[in-house]
Amino acid sequence: MRIQAQDSVLLVVDLQSRLLPAIHEGESVLANAIWLVDVAQTLKIPVLATEQYPQGLGLTEANLRARLPESAIIEKIYFSAIPEGKLLKHADAQHQQWIVVGTEAHVCVQQTVLDLLAQGLAVFVVEEAVGSRKPRDKALALERMRQHGAEIVSREMVAFECLGQANTPEFRAVLQRFLR
């Protein structure tokens, strides 16, 4: 299945200021997530973000938070973003494809992905934009999510599939800003 921009939502899971320093290659995970947020916004793909217990883990990282309207950031206490029902209320029924980035891959990302899959949604996890404190936990989480039906993709796979074709204004905008 290919990713279609008009059917997609980009979900940023718990990229929070106090958690990121503990994440293996956290700066790279954050940079790749920000890149995807910028591409999604260029292509008019809705972006939602979650914050796990922000009183303890801090708010969404400031550079990322500045890119999002306050209404797109959803506070949660469950590890999965699905049980409280807030997340799915923010997405239109037409959005059957979820592109997921964030931390920690083996906790909040994985539990959210498994719950999205259980809802019958297509899920694409961006490998270089998810992280955990330990690389082994990330690797195990990616394998488990794949076994349950999530597709593991790269950020460029997301961009090119959402674009679909060259020689459009959107392609030129993404090419000039993000694909050099």
Structure tokens at 8: 């997609």
Tell me which of 7, 14, 115, 138 is the catalytic residue: 14
Contact between residue 13 and residue 112 where contact means Cβ atoms under 8 Å apart: yes
Q: Is 76 a catalytic residue?
A: yes
Pair of tokens at residue 107? 């906790």
Question: Among residues 7, 44, 89, 108, which one is catalytic?
Answer: 108
Out of 76, 115, 138, 162, which one is annotated catalytic? 76
Give the pairing type, strands 73-76 and 97-103: unpaired
Which amino acids are annotated catalytic? 14, 76, 108
